Each structure stands twice: as C-alpha cells, then as structure tokens.
Amino acid sequence: MTDSMIILLAGIFLPLFPMSMVFNAIIEKIKYVWVRAVLFVVWPLCGLLIVFNSNVVIPGWLLPLALATSALYALRMLSLRGVDQWCGFLATSLWSLLWLAVMQDATAVLLNSYALSMSVPLVLLVLLSAGLEQRFGAAYTGLYGGLGRAIPRFAGILVTVVVAAIATPLFPTFFIMLDMVVETVSATPLTAMVLLLIWLLWSWAGARLIQGLIVGRASDVKIADMGNTTTSLFSLALLALIVAGVYLGGVIL
Amino acid sequence: MERLIIVIAVLPLVSALLIQLFAGRIGRDIARVSVAFTTLSFLLSSLLLWWALIGYGPQTLSLGYAGTIVLFDPLSTLLAAIILGISLIVHLYSVRYMAEEAAYGQFFVLLDLMTAALLFMVIAGDLITLVIAWYLVGVLLYFLLGQDTRSQTAYRFAFWTLITYRIGDLPLILAAALLYNAYDTWSLATIFAEIMADPYAHEVMGLPLTEVVAALIGFAAFARSAQFLLHTWLPYTMDGPTPVSALMHAGIVNAGGFLINRFAPVFIHSGGVLNWIFVVGLITAVFGSLLMLTQNDIKKALGYSTMGQMGFMIMECGIGAFSLAIYHMFAHGVFKGTMFLSAGSVINNARQDDGIPKDELYTFAVEKQPNKARQPWLLMAAITLAVPLVILVFAHLLVAENYYQKQGAIVLLFFGWVTGAQLIFATYRMRSQNVWRLVGLSVLSLVVVVLGYVFISHAFDLFLYPDPAFRAQLYSAATIDLLPFEVLVVITTLIIVSGWVVTYYMEQSDYSRRQRTKRLWLNFYALISREFYISDIYTRLARTLLAISGRLNVWLRWL
C-alpha cells in the first residue's frame, strides 16, 4: 500500500477533512448506545494502529490539514443542538490534533493514552445523552431546558462531563493541549495560536451546550433524577479522569 | 512553618469536598462547615502575613510532584490574607442571604472552590499551577454567576464573562509556553533569576522574549481586569447573587494587577510595554468613569465604576507604581465589597425611611439652592490650582525627597492635582450658600485621601519590593524620554485647563448660545448611552460566526 493510501485510510480514523465525515455519518446511523460508546474508544486507536504499523512518512501538508479539520469542526460545533452530534464533532476536532503529536514523534504508548483521555469524557457524554433520550425522547439543547432544577444530580454530572470534554483543568485533555502548545510555540507560533483558538471554540460550544440543557424553568412534569449508584459511578469516573489528568500532566510537562 | 501557606489553600478544597459528600445528611448546616474552614484558613493566613511582615521569607516550597511549587513571599501572603478576608465576609453574608436557594450546598461548594483557586493563583510558584488556577477562576465564576439556573439572562452574561476570561487565558498560556521553551523550567523563581541575570538572552520572532512575554501578560491582565474593549462583561454581570458580585468586584476582577506584579521582573526588561499598559489603563479609566456617570441603572453604574477603578489600577502598573496597584486593589476591594453587601440593607432601610437629612449640606448638594453672591472667580481659580498642588508636594516630600525624579510619581502627582482641582472647581460651580465651608471640607478630604494614599502606598512599596534598586528599576522601566514626557504633560494640562475654561464660559454664556451646542451634546449622550456600541459590535460578530457555523453545517449536511 502506498503512503498516500495509508494516510487516506488513517485520515478516516484520525479524522482529516473530508474523510472525517465518515465517522460522523456512522455515529448518526448507530442507534445502540453501547456500540456508539465503544466506537468512540476504538476509532482513534485504529488510526494510531495504522500509523504506527505502516512506518509511513507524514508529509508536511498534513499539519495544516489536521489543524483546519480541528478548527472546522470546532466552529461547526457552535450551531449544533443534538448532543450525540456534538460528541461526534468534538471527537473529530480532538482526534485530528493527534496528528500533531504523531509528527512530534511521540511514543505509541503516549499517543494511545492521549486518544483514550480524549475519548473517555465523550463516552460518558454519549451515555448521558442516552439518559436524556430515555427521559425526554430526544437529546437536544433548547428543547426542554431547566435540567438544573428538574434533575439536579443528572445536570451536575452532565456539566462536569462537558467541562472535562472541553479540556478544562485538571482533566487530561487540558494537559494534552498545553503540551501541544508548548511543543509548537517556538518553532511554529502560528500553529500554537490556531490551537488556542480551537480550544477557545470548544469552550464556547461547551457553554452553549450547557446553557441549552441546564438553564431555564423546570417543567411541571416530574422526571426521575439519576440514581445513587449511577451518580457514584459517574463521579468515580470523573475523579479517575482528574487523577489521570494530574498524572499525565506530571509525565508530559 | 512557611508550609502553612499550602494548608491555607488546601483547607477550602477540603471544605468543598466535605460539603459535596455530606450535604444530604447535614442539610443547611453545611454553611457552618464552609464558614469554619474559611475562618481557620483566614486566621492562618493572617499569621503568615505577620511572619512575612516581620521578615520571614521569601521562600519557594516544592510540593514534591511534577515540579509544583508554591511561593511564600510578601505578595502571596498579603493577597492570600486579603482574599480570605473578603471570602470570609462573603461566606458569612451568604449563610442567610442564600438560605432560600435550592442549590444552597452547591453554592458553598463553588464558593470554596473559587476561594481555593484564587489562593492557588496567588501562591503559585510555577507556571502550570498559575495557568491552571487562572483558568479555573474563569470557569468557576461562570457557574457562580449562573447560580440561578432559571435565569437565562444570568447565564447569558455569565457566558460573556467566561468567553472574555478564556480569551485572557490564551496569552497567559502562550507566555508560559514561551518561558518554558526558553528556560526549560516551569519555576517562576528560576525563570526570574535567569531573566535578571541576562534579560535579553532569548528572542521570539526577532523580538526580545521579555518584551513578548510582558505584552502577553499585559493582555491576560486586561481581560481579567475588564480593560477597554475587554470590559463589556463587567457591567452586565449583575444578575448573579449579590455575594458573588461582591466577591467578583472586590477580588476576582483585580487579578490583572496581581498578575502584572507577579511578573514584575519581566516587566523591568519589557521595553515600552509598560507605557502601553499605562495608555490602556488610562483609556479604561476615562471610559469607565464617563460611562458610570451616564448610567441610570445603579448596578450598571457600579459595574462601570469598577471598570474605571481597574483602569486606574492598571495605569498605576503602567507608571511603575506596582505596589500602589496592590494597595488600590485592596482598598477598592474593601470599598466595593462593602457597597455590594450593604445594598440590600440600604434598600430595606430606604423603604422605611428615605434617610435624607434636611440640613444645609443636603440642600446645597442635592437641591442645589444657588447662592446669590459668588466669590471672585480668580480667587477660586487660584485656590483650585494651588491647594491640591501644595498638599501633594507636601505629602510626597514627607515620603521621599527624590520622588520627583521618577516620572511615575509625577504622573501620580499630576493626576492627584487634576482630581483635587476638579473637586474644588465643582464645588465652586455648585454655588453653595457657604462656599468656604465646602472648600474647607473638600481640602480636608483631599488631605486625608492624599496622605493616606501616599503613606500607605509607600508602606506597601517597602513591604512588597524591599529592594530599593528593584523599585527604582520598576519606575525606570516605565519611563519615557524627557522631551515627549514634558510635551505630553503640557498638552494634557492645556486640555484640562481649556476644559475648565470652556465650562466656565458655558456657565456665563446666554441661553441661545447654549442651544446651539445642545444637539452636539445630545448626540454625544446618545453615543455614551449605547456604550459606544461596543457590546452591539461584539454581539453582531458573535451572531455572524454562529451563522457561518450553521451555514457550514447545512452545506456539509451536518456530517
């Protein structure tokens, strides 16, 4: 297989526009939540597997394409209302940045941990999205709102998961982004600035998602909140993410 | 003993954790847990401040993981005590004020987390801890301002705050990354030591690293401290709970001044960056004050008042008076915090009694009953110009005789003179029945303010920057060439004096002449009342970006 073919194939899993559309099309079609969750974990790992097993030489033009893909999806996230779609777009925006780490000659172990750290909050969000569908019939922002008062426990977990997904300290993605900025700022300051702009767009999109779901008056219809066990499991997962973040930060910075 | 500084920052975190874990079991008593931890933390911080005052430190303390370092130095101990003092008052106030809130426990968790983030920010001895704390303050403030999840308005303006703070995070992250790449360490103390040893050892895109970093730090400070063009969030974030407004206006918004002080060794070698900081601060002070005067909404007026004060604070940094900015931060924090927290009582009292004293001062100041005979204009003009100048010169001579060799001191003197003169000038224009009494009161208040300001700021100077050579370097870094400086002083004086003359002329002129300028004033007022259309422009830009995002999604079939 030629290098271009390998990059084309890897570009589906470590998203490069327009191959990035494949993942989002598949996510839209899959209705089973657990399959969707597994896909969020496996997809970037497949991309990394292809890259590491092929010894392909990464061409220079790939860096701007990866950045452009990430920026494009970050920008497109601003106008999304579907929570699953939001997860898919954020995943695309995050995973395309893995190309930067690949080009910086990061080890396979480190890159796999990057990919997992990026995916885990999204998996949690996919599960929460299923919870919303179960309660309201759909997981859309601005459709019902008021979750902050109606189901406060669910809302608290949802907000924290979104915050984790958009690279907020002390979650792993924050340290990954910081590392990428540190690695690029001296050699290619423009890349570092684009990375920061993408990061800013994630924050904006995250705030819009939170506001579309949490804010507003609660409906009069009684909705079941998250159970104790589920809340504890989600809390433990988030705590584990923070611990992983602090550990990863210590390793890479 | 110095390790206690770590304990004071960790205590609010422990409190937040306990509340989160036991909120269901102990109900409303969770507030007591929060208050107890904050009180303990405040007492410890006071003890640490005392140690710093009697000469312990400065010291860097390693936390033993990933190069995490905290600083025990005058700046960190002083600001930790201030933050905890204000936080304790806000905690005590919130116990009853927030009692009706559904998310009572969550509020105290967020308040404790915010206190911890602010403490880690001021004691951070490495760039990563500083960046993390700086970033988290913005995120936590977003949720504190949006405490009432029913209010769309509260969240809308909380979002404005978040996005401005995130914009401000970016230059700080860039600065941290540049410094790390250049010096291969995250430790602030090591970086500063290397900069002091060889300030121009590194370059970025052909520019000295120190200048680039100073500019980036300045920009981060501008966003945090609501400087002009990054200020629009501040006057609108009044839908959050009152204790949050108090904490925000008294503490969080001042962080820009702290950041510039923390990076003081960089600013010494920053070329003309301090001059630009001065200009931005000046513009912010003028616009903030101007917009404050024209608001008919008291809350927005308070917001713009804070903006003006932040402008002064940044301006003080821009003239090299770094410690004065810290004093300003402290004084403004106490003053504005008191205003916010007493607002409820004032409204309550006003409902029962308007509290208007029917005395001479009231009739003069509010009802403006004119005096038939006025004092000679020339006499009043002479007093107006001479009295503040004498007070300021006298006050500064008491502190240091060589004060006038520093441009920063001259700028401050000039500012004090103009303000004092303006006060007496306004007194004359108000046509009191007893002008001499009012002039006396004005002079007295000016003496108190100036002496207090000069002596206390001098004390802050000695405490925060005990090395006289370093202090001199700070002032020197803010200095511009003598000729442009003198030209600027003359031009500014001419503008101010001509403003006074025009005002006097307008007072004396007849009605028809005033009519001619009325339209001009109305247009100017319309511009101010729309706040120079800055928020409108930002809203339009944001909507355009959202429209582009939506259009792209349609074109790409949402894939």
* Nearest-10 Cα torsion for B509, B512, B516, B519: 110
| Percent of chain A at pLDDT exceeding 90 | 82
Cβ–Cβ contact A96 with B under 8 A: no
Average pLDDT over residues B318-339: 89
Strand partners, B203: B208
Interface test with A, best of B152, B549, B555 (most A CBs within 10 A): B549
Residue A124 pLDDT exceeds 70: yes
Average pLDDT over residues A31-54: 94
Q: A-B interface: how many C-beta pairs under 8 angstroms?
A: 117
Alpha-carbon distance of B476 to B478, in angstroms, equals 5
A203, two tokens: 């924050």
Confidence at residue B483, expressed as pLDDT on a 0 to 100 scale: 81
Alpha-carbon distance of A179 to A184, in angstroms, equals 9
Closest Cβ opposite residue A182 in set B152, B180, B553: B180
What Å distances lie between residue A110 and A105, A237, B420, CA to CA?
A: 10, 20, 63
Whether A192 contacts A184, CB under 8 Å: yes
HEC profile of B363-426: HHHCCCCCCCCCCCHHHHHHHHHHHHHHHHHHHHHHHCHHHHHCHHHHHHHHHHHHHHHHHHHH
Confidence at residue B138, expressed as pLDDT on a 0 to 100 scale: 96
Closest Cβ opposite residue B66 in set A79, A214, A250: A250
- Which residues 10-49 on chain A approach chain B with CB closer than 8 angstroms? 21, 24-25, 28
Closest Cβ opposite residue A216 in set B66, B150, B546: B150
Nearest residue to B268 (alpha-carbon basis) of B471, B466, B126: B471
Whether B165 contacts B222, CB under 8 Å: no
Whether A71 contacts A153, CB under 8 Å: no
Average pLDDT over residues B184-206: 93
What Å distances lie between residue A137 and A37, A130, A134, A157, CA to CA?
A: 19, 9, 6, 19
Alpha-carbon distance of A206 to B269, in angstroms, equals 39
Least confident of A228-242, B68-82, B338-352: B338-352
DSSP notation for B100-134: T-TTHHHHHHHHHHHHHHHHHHHHB-BHHHHHHHH
- CA nearest to A208 within chain B: B159
Closest Cβ opposite residue B166 in set A170, A178, A200: A200
Say how many CA atoms lie within 13 Å of A221 toward its Cβ.
Answer: 5
Alpha-carbon distance of A91 to A12, in angstroms, equals 12
Cβ–Cβ contact A211 with B under 8 A: yes
Q: Which residue ranges make up each domain of chain B?
A: 1-125, 179-344, 372-508
Cβ–Cβ contact A92 with B under 8 A: no
Closest Cβ opposite residue B128 in set A148, A163, A253: A253
Do the Cβ atoms of A216 and B143 come within 8 Å? no
What Å distances lie between residue B292 and B236, B499, B526, CA to CA?
A: 13, 20, 14
B396, two tokens: 């500064």
Q: Torsions phi, psi of A222, nearest 5?
A: -75, 125
Alpha-carbon distance of B305 to B287, in angstroms, equals 10
Mean pLDDT of chain B: 85
Looking up tokens 């988030």 gives A238
Confidence at residue A25, expressed as pLDDT on a 0 to 100 scale: 96
Residue A238 pLDDT exceeds 80: yes
- Within chain B, how many helices (H) and strands (E) appear? 22, 4
Closest-CA distance, A125 to chain B, in angstroms, reads 19
Strands B203-204 and B59-62, by their bridges, are: unpaired
Rg (alpha carbons) of chain A, rounded to whole number: 18
Strand partners, B187: B126
Whether A205 contacts A90, CB under 8 Å: yes
Least confident of A61-65, B194-198, B411-415: B411-415
Q: Please, what's the largest Cα pairwise distance for chain B? A: 80
Closest-CA distance, B63 to chain A, in angstroms, reads 12
A186, two tokens: 């001296």
| B391 vs B280, residue with greater confidence | B280
Give the pLDDT confidence of B404-437 residue by residue, as tens digits.
556 666 677 677 667 766 666 666 555 555 667 6
B474, two tokens: 């700070």
Which residues in chain A are contacts of B205 at CB distance < 8 A? 189
- Which residues 214-233 on chain A approach chain B with CB closer than 8 angstroms? 214-218
Nearest residue to B287 (alpha-carbon basis) of B308, B315, B271: B308
Alpha-carbon distance of B8 to B17, in angstroms, equals 15
Closest-CA distance, A236 to chain B, in angstroms, reads 13
Do the Cβ atoms of B173 and A178 come within 8 Å? yes
Which residues in chain A are contacts of B170 at CB distance < 8 A? 196-197, 199-200
Alpha-carbon distance of B467 to B448, in angstroms, equals 28
Alpha-carbon distance of B162 to B510, in angstroms, equals 51
Do the Cβ atoms of B186 and A253 come within 8 Å? yes
A188, two tokens: 């290619």
Give the pLDDT confidence of B22-38 residue by residue, as tens digits.
887 887 788 999 999 99
Closest Cβ opposite residue A203 in set B166, B181, B552: B166
Residue A14 pLDDT exceeds 90: yes
Query: Which residue type sits at B513?
Result: R
DSSP notation for B141-154: HHHHHT-STT-HHH
| Percent of chain B at pLDDT exceeding 90 | 48
Closest-CA distance, A252 to chain B, in angstroms, reads 9
